[in-house]
Each structure stands twice: as structure tokens, then as C-alpha cells.
Amino acid sequence: MRIAATIMIISMAVSGVVSAAPAEQPVSDETMSYTVFAVGDIGLDQLPRPNVNRYQYDKVAALILENDPDAFLMLGDGQHNNGELQDYLDFYDTAFHPLGPVTYPVTGNHDYYVYDDAEGYFDYFGDPENCANSNLVLENDFPDGTHLGYYSFDIGTWHIVALNSHLSHLDFLEGQIDPMEGTPSYQQWKWLEADLASHSEGYTGTIATMHHPLFDWELYYRCEWISWFDLSTQIHLWNVFEEFDVDMVLSGHNHNYQCWAPQTPDGVYDPDGIRQFVVGTGGAYLSGLPTSTTSLDCAGDYPNGIPLSTLENLECAEDEYFGALKLTLDDTGCEYAFISVDGEVIDEGSIICD
């Protein structure tokens, strides 16, 4: 792996990992495949240490590095608890700096804990010394100059949209209300529609990365909180995903691994729907999953909770492993595997794209 950012930018353009331009179409190459890793919820405000349930982000970085990926999709909350620049430098950077040449990050809620503009995140990933794709990270701003952090790029014949799911929370969306015109979340929403419309032909598939999942089976969340903070505020984005046949959504936020079967934004199984992965296993700490369907008081009262019928779409849920999701992309589809830091394959499967 090349570490120098300037060299890596050139090598990515040659290898097929490039930022997307609406007028361009990918060139299919049946001999090419690309190794991509994805994980979020990584650094904690202490250095790694031998604690099986916390501070394991150095091992996650080592797992990814030893596989020499073409791209690393950082799924938000790269640094807990406050996402400040100095913490990114003191903790996240100690393990993940070597991945900077291939890193494509998104913001998480912890990046907004201290600054309402995620200053630490944008200062870190907006610096080409830390992230070779800093130009993408800083590509889209609000009219007042605030960085919004959404962008898109291509990996071979796959199109990837990286979104800032926290914008919906900043705009205080509730229920299934679409963003109001003139807000940051509205600007991102309209950009997403335009971007996917202009990249709808000639691609094998499309992946969306965003920190907050739409579907989740998490122990410590309760129904009222789920409704306005995680679920409903993302539905307007998922409706766009459905319209333009996005294949999968990769999220973090919850510190465990979940693989959901393809489904509609309403949680109805659909073999042609959107598959969601939750990969919040980047090393900060692990969070337990419910042991039964009675663990949430109002299960079945969607959108104030996840209905039992939707829980049937949860194919795999693991809360005991730090690790990362490996994707192998080519022009026929995708193979996926969740790999623990010990090298064990915990979950695997494939997605065939017509």
C-alpha cells in the first residue's frame, strides 16, 4: 500500500477508485475486482489497551491493513466521545493513519457533540495529510460556508454515495416529514436525487454509506427515542435509495454487527429491496443486542419501534466481536464477509446484480 497521498491519488485513478463525475460512465472490466472494508465507531478517548470489550481499534486497523484494501469506508464516529481534532490525532490517527490514502469517511453524531459544525472531523479528514480524499470531504458546503460532508465516487463499476445522516437531526425532523427547503438536510436530499439520477445507467450497483441505520435491533434504545432520532429522520433518504435501486446501505452508530435482508423503507421483505449492514464494531466498545422480541416495550408499533414482522428480516446479529465488513466488488455483484479481529469469518454472503 502506498502511503504518500499524492502518489495514492494517482494510483486510485489508475486502479478504478475515482471520484464520480455525473457525465462519465464506468468502463466494465470483467477481470477486475476491488477489496473494500467498512466499519465505524472506532477510536475512544484513550489509547488501545487489553480490554476485550473496549479500546480495540488498533486490532481493527491491523485487520484492514493486512488485506491491502482498495478503499476503506469509515462509517462515522471515527473518534469518541467528542470528535475533537486533538482526539482524532491522539487516538484514531495512531492506528488508522496508514489507511488515509484509501479512506472515504462520513460524519457521525459524536462529531457534533462539541461543535455544531463537526469542526474536528472536517479539520482532520479535510487535511490531505490525513485523508487523500479530503477534496471530497470538503466538496459540498451550505451557503453560509458550513461543511456538509456528502459526496460520491466510483469503485470500478460501482457507484458510492457518502451521506451525512446527522443533518436530519440538526434540522429536527420528526415523523416521516421531508426536509424543509433551505435546510442542510434538504440540500443533501436534492443532491442525492440528482446524483443517483445521473449515475443510474451503466453501473453494476450502488452503495450508500451513512452513520445512522434505518433498521436496528439495539438493546438500549426505546421506542420514542428510536422514532425521531434514528428511524424516521432517515426515511426520506431511503425513499430515494428505493427509487434509484440502491443495492445496500452501510451504517455504524450501534456498536455491534447486523445484516438485514433486502427490504423496502417500510421494513417489508423484498428480494429486490435494499440490504442494510450495521457495522459499529470498529474498536470503541461493544453494545449488547436483545435476547428476545420482548426486549423493546413497543415492538410492533412502527414507526415508534421496529415491528416484529420486520425483525424477521434480520439475518445476522452479533454483539461479541470487533471487526470489519469486507466487500469484494466486481462487475457481476458483491461478496461480503464480516471478519473479526481474530480473522474469523462471522457472517458471509453474496449479492448478484442483474
The domains of the chain are located at 5-352
- Segment 248-261 mean pLDDT: 96
What was the pLDDT predicted at 289? 83
What was the pLDDT predicted at 232? 66
Per the prediction, the chain carries an average pLDDT of 86
**Domain 5-352 class in CATH:** alpha beta
- Segment 212-227 mean pLDDT: 64
Sheet holding 257-263, edge to edge: 17-19, 151-155, 158-162, 205-209, 248-251, 274-279, 257-263, 314-318
Confidence of residue 28 (pLDDT cuts 50, 70, 90): very low
The CA distance from 78 to 88, in Å, is 8
Looking at the chain, the whole-number percentage of residues with pLDDT higher than 70 is 81
Joined grid coordinates for residue 306: 421496529
Residue-wise pLDDT tens digits, 148-175: 999 999 999 999 999 999 998 877 666 5
Entry pTM? 0.89
Joined grid coordinates for residue 121: 472531523
Closest CA to 203 of 237, 243, 246: 246
pLDDT at 288 over 50: yes
